[in-house]
Amino acid sequence: MKKIAILTSGGDAPGMNAAVRAVVRAGIYAGYQVFGVTRGFQGLINGDFVEMTLGSVADIIHRGGTILRTSRCEEFMEEKGRLRGLEALRDAGIQDVIGIGGNGTIRGLYEFSKLGVNTVAIPGSIDNDIPYCDMSIGFDTAVNTVVSAINRIRDTATAHERIFIVEVMGRESGHIALTAGLAGGAESILIPEVPFDLDQVVERLKQGMKRGKLHSIIVVAEGCCGAYPLAREIQAKTGMDTKVTVLGHTQRGGMPSAMDRNLASRMGKRAVDLIVEGKGNMMTGYQGMKIVDVPLAQVIEGKKDIDLDICEIARILSI
């Protein structure tokens, strides 16, 4: 019987479990034996494989985190580590590997495929910075988590007539900040992709106050500028009490949204289909609401841009 390995790697994202469930069930349905790899690429190197059954993925579709656990594995970035992974895979008689994760995971799978292993990547990252993928698994849930935090902050910000800086994750990208900032009605959204002028930000805050705004929310992406120094400068320039909330890892946890579960289920099924069709070294992308196949080599070379039209909409609507 043919064998597939499934792993989750890098930062976890809500919906990864739904993707694991989809791969296991679609794989067994297609007549494969499916093995879960514990702790991502580290588990691959160590040969930590556990056979998955239909029941082993029951009751996980709604759970955040990843039942397979995850890691950021330095060793797999080196060829020596990947060769150890190859040996472990060969010893277990496994031919194909499906990996769920972000850009680091996709690069790892791409490098691994050069050793002759059939790999398929499923994009899972709250950052939504993966090329050829309108939405990666976990992004929708993370955005909803940020928006509900902004809703709560808004109440206390109004009560005290304060400015709040809400720092969100996203590494070097501003997709979470932009999408949650627009949905949360933020006064300003600061992201690494678009340079900003602090005096203009302050001017907008002052204009808002003049018109009787009781609070202001600024959403800042972690890769843009430090939230605390920014708050000090804004407080000094506006004379208004300015507080910082860093949402941090709350954005990674929690129950995945219906959007993320459906995306994960569709991508997981397509990943297995790709293996069945003998089309390895691909990513299950998402474009125009459709799951599309994208060669890993193309993803590695690609870059995901921020939508400047959305930046403009957010700017106009927050006057």
Strand partners, 295: 282
Determine the interface stretch with ligand F6P among 45-53, 76-84, 125-133, 266-274 (rule: CB under 6 A). 125-133
* Residue from the set 9, 125, 141, 144 that interacts with ligand F6P by CB under 6 A: 125
Kind of pairing, strands 163-168 and 242-246? parallel
Under the criterion CB under 6 A, does residue 143 sit at the interface with ligand F6P? no
Three-state DSSP class for 169?
A: coil
Under the criterion CB under 6 A, does residue 268 sit at the interface with ligand F6P? no
Measure the CA–CA gap between 159 and 309, rounded to whole angstroms. Answer: 33
**What are the distances in angstroms from CA 120 to CA 1, 107, 285, 295?**
19, 11, 11, 9
- Dihedral Cα 194, 195, 198, 204, nearest 10 deg: -40
Question: Which residue in 127, 129, 140, 260 is the catalytic one?
Answer: 127
Q: Which helix (H) or strand (E) holds 96?
A: strand 96-101
Answer yes or no: 96 catalytic: no
C-beta atoms surrounding 238 within 10 Å = 17
Q: Annotated binding residues for substrate, as ranges? A: 125-127, 162, 169-171, 222, 243, 249-252
Determine the interface stretch with ligand F6P among 24-32, 124-132, 238-246, 290-298 (rule: CB under 6 A). 124-132
Under the criterion CB under 6 A, does residue 170 sit at the interface with ligand F6P? yes
Subset of 96-115 contacting ligand F6P (CB under 6 A): 102
Under the criterion CB under 6 A, does residue 11 sit at the interface with ligand F6P? yes
Q: Please, what is the minimum distance in Å from the beta carbon of residue 222 to ligand F6P?
A: 6
Measure the CA–CA gap between 130 and 100, rounded to whole angstroms. Answer: 12
Q: Nearer Cβ to ligand F6P, position 169 or 294?
A: 169
* Residue from the set 24, 169, 218, 219 that interacts with ligand F6P by CB under 6 A: 169
Q: Which helix (H) or strand (E) holds 244?
A: strand 242-246
Three-state DSSP class for 16?
A: helix
Q: Please, what is the minimum distance in Å from the beta carbon of residue 18 to ligand F6P?
A: 18
C-beta atoms surrounding 258 within 10 Å = 10
Measure the CA–CA gap between 317 and 44, rounded to whole angstroms. Answer: 49
Q: Which helix (H) or strand (E) holds 41?
A: helix 40-46
Determine the interface stretch with ligand F6P among 57-65, 169-177, 292-300, 305-313 (rule: CB under 6 A). 169-177
Measure the CA–CA gap between 187 and 5, rounded to whole angstroms. Answer: 46
* Residue from the set 48, 111, 127, 167 that interacts with ligand F6P by CB under 6 A: 127
Please tell me the total number of residues recorded for the chain in this structure: 319
Q: Please, what is the minimum distance in Å from the beta carbon of residue 57 to ligand F6P?
A: 23
Q: Annotated binding residues for Mg(2+), as ranges? A: 103
Q: Please, what is the minimum distance in Å from the beta carbon of residue 75 to ligand F6P?
A: 16
Subset of 15-34 contacting ligand F6P (CB under 6 A): none
Q: Nearer Cβ to ligand F6P, position 140 or 222?
A: 222
Determine the interface stretch with ligand F6P among 1-9, 121-129, 236-244, 300-308 (rule: CB under 6 A). 121-129
- Dihedral Cα 107, 111, 112, 116, nearest 10 deg: 140
Residues that bind ligand F6P (CB under 6 A): 11, 72, 102, 125-127, 169-171, 222, 252
Catalytic residues: 127
